[in-house]
Amino acid sequence: MTDPETLADRVREGELRLHELEDHADYETAATARRLLIERETDASLETIGEYAFPAEQAEPNIENMIGAAQVPMGVVGPVPVDGGATSGEHYLPLATTEGALLASVNRGLSVIRSAGGAAARVTKNGMTRAPVFRVEGVAEAARTVEWVENNVDALREAAESTTSHGELLEVSPYVVGDSVYLRFAYDTKDAMGMNMATIATGEACEVVERETPASLVALSGNLCSDKKPAAINAIEGRGRSVTADVVIPGEVVEERLHTTADAIAEANTRKNLTGSAKAGSLGFNAHAANVVAAAFLATGQDEAQVVEAANAITTMDAREREDGTTDLYASVSLASLEVGTVGGGTSLPTQAEALEVLGLRGGGDPPGSNADALAEIIAVGALAGELSLLAALASRHLASAHEDLGR
């Protein structure tokens, strides 16, 4: 077995490339050799980066040119009280972040939600998308292509589903722009986030479209999907899971626990999250939903770049007057495109798998898709707690003092 020093020297001398080290040594030795090389080239110490608690080969499907692991502090909030369509009861939610005060704020919101009897949550839509773009001669050929697609969805479904034992093609939505035809395929990918599944399946279906229509495939992704980019289509049509969580907080709880009123929180939400966001041209109308989503993604092995779509959230806060004159607070958060899974991708890494075990959601659910739905519902309630806590802090003018108290 070649030792790390020799491998590092061979890369430095140009005999090997960084990505070829696993062809000459085991994964652990290859990672060590890369660290040695980088330390020599940069004078940096990679001692901490090289301290990780899993075999390097377990990360092989997830990364190339591995040198170690990034260690992000992980905490837990909860229990999160959820009355959902896929889960019910209380769950601890692991969150990984470097932002001090975030978990304390979410926990405060969850405590208030718990006092109100818990939050309801439902996945209202599910569909992972991939949208290839085709070239045609003009609008006449575009119309012929769209007509064929609309009349032959079953043929496309057969081709797409031949590539997967789990995914189901739900629909194909055509869009025409001049001599370009976009077909937005949407799939039920069960407990997988499903981006790779959707891509492979769509590639097979594209061969049928090219064979049966005048259209020629230009790119398997035409950005109408839309993956890892701010996009109104995801805010409107959804991508992955569309999930909403809501709760009614009694007025006395708002005053005692949040030190403000339902009317004040509702006004802050309207002027900040709705009017302010509209003036800014924002696609998301919320306070900081992406904060909780990002921390949950890092903890549970989701694709962190898809926090972009997860920020497509709308928060509503309304004051509701009871017959006795008391004013309660209705609070909700609706995430249009929360792309999560409990199998595949980073969910199989040991740390992230343990975090999913904390939630009781590691692996596939019974029925298929139920674990990913449950994860979406729990994250949505966590995001709702974060919205509630931050808006209350703003309405009571306690935001700055809270950060000062926590030394953040």
Give the active site residues.
99, 303, 403
Amino acid at 401: S
Q: Which of 74, 164, 173 is nearest to 132 (CA)?
A: 173
Query: In this structure, how many other beta carbons lie within 10 angstroms of the beta carbon of residue 385?
Result: 31
Task: Write the CB contacts of 280 (distance below 8 Å, at least 6 apart in sequence).
Answer: none
Beta bridge partner(s), residue 133: 182, 219
Whole-angstrom Cα distance, residue 391 to residue 398?
A: 10
Whole-angstrom Cα distance, residue 246 to residue 328?
A: 13
The pair of three-digit structure tokens given for residue 206, joined into one six-digit string:
């594209």
Helices (H) and strands (E) counted in the chain, each on its own, are 15, 10
Task: Write the CB contacts of 245 (distance below 8 Å, at least 6 apart in sequence).
Answer: 82, 119, 120, 121, 332, 333, 377, 380, 381, 383, 384
DSSP structural state of residue 380: H
**Element (DSSP H or E) covering residue 186:** strand 180-188
Helices 350-359, 289-300: axis angle to 10 degrees equals: 120
